[in-house]
Chains A and B, each alone.
Chain A
Amino acid sequence: MSLFSFLKKPRGPRVLTIGLDGVPHSFLTEQIEQGALPNLASLAADGDLTPALSTYPTVSCSAWTCFVTGVNPGAHGILGFQDRRPGSYDTFITGNQHLQAPPLYRLLSERGQRVLMMNVPVTYPPPRVNGLLVSGFLAPTLEGATHPPELASRLEGFGYRIDIDPWQARESLDALLEDLDATLDARVRAAVELLGEDRWALAMVHIMGTDRINHFMWREWESDDPEYAPRFLDYYRKVDAAVGTLLEAVSDETEVIILSDHGFCLTRREVNLDAWLRERGWLAVRAGENAKLTDVDESTRAFSLTPGRIYLNVRGREPRGSVNAGEEYEAAREELTGQFTELVDPETGEPVVDKVFKREEVFHGSAAEAAPDLLVHPRNGYDLKSGLASDELFGSSPITGMHTYDDAFWCVRGRRFAAQEPRVLDGAPTVLHLLGEAPPDSLDGQPVLQ
C-alpha cells in the first residue's frame, strides 16, 4: 500500500465491535429486564439482541480467533492456550504467530483500511497492522505488546492493564474487584482517546474482565451471596456504563456489534481427564510425582490436553506410540468414546460428558491434522482439565464459573439479525459485509444480519 493511498480513499463505513468476554445471553437479558444495564438495554431495543453459539473447544483463544478469521479451529489452528508439537509430547503456548488463516486486521490492513485493536485474545506477539494494536492477555508486559511500539508508553499514561492478576484474585475477591475496576477504567479512557483520533474502519475493543469476574465469582452470584452478589452486579453496571462511554466516542453512523464468545455456568466439579485415562488403563507415565506429558510411557494409548482434547498415542506418529493406525486406531476411538459415557459424577450419578466428537466431525482445514483425535465436550457444570501431576479425578478450585458452548450473545445497533443463531465464526464475514469488503474464499461463517 502506498503511504498516501488513504488520502484518496473516500471515508467508508466503520464498524466498532465490543467484546464482552464470556457474558451469557441469559444473564444479560435478565439484567436488562431488571433495569441494571440501561445502555445495553437501549442498544438492544434500538437494534437486536440474540443468543449465540461459541466453538469447540469452548475457550476464548479458539473462539476469538474464529471471530477474526471466520473459519473453524481446524483451519485457523488455535485449539487451546497450549498445544502440542505434532509428532511429539512437547507443548507450546499458542500465539498470533500460529494463526493459519488471515484475521480481519490483516485483511483490512492489506486493503489499505485502518484498524484499532484493543486487547483481542491471540494478538500477541503484536502483528504489524495498518493502525493501532495492543495485544490481549498472554502478553507478558505492556511494553512489547503494542503496534506501533510507542503506543505502549501512551497506554501506560492511562494506567493501562492488559489483564487482572489472577493469583491475587484467587486470594481475595476484594482485590479482584479493585483490579477489575482499575483495568476497566483505564481500558475505557484509552479506548475513547484512540477511537477519537484514529481513522479506523474497524475498531475492536475487548473487555476480558467479564470473563474473569465470572470465573472467580459465579458461585457468589448464583448463590446470591449477600456481600459479593451485589458487587458482582455493580461491576456489570460499570461495564454497561463503559459501553455507553464507548458509543459516545463514535459517530451515530458507526455500525456497532457487541458480543460474547461463550456463555457461563456454575462449575460443579473439575474433572481431570488424564486421571481418568490413567484409572482406565489408557495412560501411564514413567515418572512419579509431577509427571509431564513428556513422561508418558510406551503402554500409553491416549493422553489429553485441556479442555477435553484427547490424543491417541499412535505408532509412527508419536515417539512412543502404541496404537496402530487404521482399524486399531478407529477401534480405540470407538472404545474410548463408549467409556466416556460411563464417566459419572460420584455424588449424583449424572453423566459428565455431553458429546464426544471425532476429529473430522469438528475440525476441517489445514490445521486439522494436528487437532486432537477426539474432542470431549462436557455437560454444563463439569470443567474438563488435564494434568499428570495429580491422579485426583474430581476436584475444585477458586474458579467457580466455567464456559458454555451455548448462551453467548450478539447485540447489534440499528439492525436485525437473520433467523439463525450467530456462531462466533460468523464474525469476520459479518464485519466484512458491513464494511462492504469482499470476504476471502472458503470462510466457514456467513453474514448474520438482515
Chain B
Amino acid sequence: MGESKGSDKVTLKIPRPLYEKLQQIIPGTGYSSVTEFVVYVLRDLAATHELSEAEPYSEAELIRVKERLRSLGYL
C-alpha cells in the first residue's frame, strides 16, 4: 500500500490475474474502471461492518439540537 503525503488517496496492489478478470466483468455494469468498481465494492463491504445505528445524541448535542428547534419555532 502506498500513501503519498498530502493526497487523500492511497494505492492498493492486487494480483494481476484478478485485475484482468475484473476488467472482463466490468463492461455493461456502469463502472468506467477497475478502480471505480473496486472502490464501490470495498465501500459496500466496509459498510456491513459498521454499527447499524449511530450513538444517540450526547448531552451537549441534545442541548444544541433543542436550541436549534427552539430557534426555528419547532419547540
| Residue positions of A touching B, CB distance < 8 A | 3-4, 6-7, 11, 59, 80-82, 93, 95, 97, 124-128, 130, 137-138, 140-141, 144-145, 147-150, 153, 163, 166-167, 169-170, 197, 199, 212, 215, 270, 306, 383, 385, 387, 397, 399
Contacts and interface: CB of A to CB of B under 8 A. Distances in A.
A204 B6 CA distance: 33
B54 A125 contact: yes
B55 A399 contact: no
A317 B8 CA distance: 56
Contacts, number: 80
Nearest to A82: B75
6 contacts: A3-B41, A81-B74, A81-B75, A126-B54, A127-B53, A170-B71
Nearest to A197: B36
Nearest to B36: A197
B67 A167 contact: yes
Contacts of A81: 69, 74-75
A32 B8 CA distance: 43
B54 to A, nearest CB: 3
A210 B48 CA distance: 35
A6 B30 CA distance: 11
Contacts of B4: none
Contacts of B44: 3, 130
Nearest to B68: A166
Main DSSP-derived SS at the A contact region: loop
A173 to B, nearest CB: 14
B20 interface: no
Nearest to A199: B30
Which 9 A-B residue pairings sit nearest by Cβ, starting from the closest?
A125-B54, A166-B71, A140-B61, A399-B73, A81-B74, A148-B47, A167-B71, A166-B72, A199-B30
A93 B45 contact: no
B74 A306 contact: yes
A95 B75 CA distance: 15
A82 B66 CA distance: 9
B10 interface: no
B54 A82 contact: no
Contact of B68 (A3, A138, A147, A270): A138
Given A128-B52, A140-B57, A149-B50, A399 B72 contact: yes
B46 A148 contact: yes
B54 A144 contact: yes
Interface string B15-50: 000000000010001100000100011011111001
Contacts of A170: 71
Contacts of A169: 71
Contact of A7 (B29, B50, B53, B56): B29
B57 A3 contact: no
Contacts of A95: 56
A93 B65 contact: yes
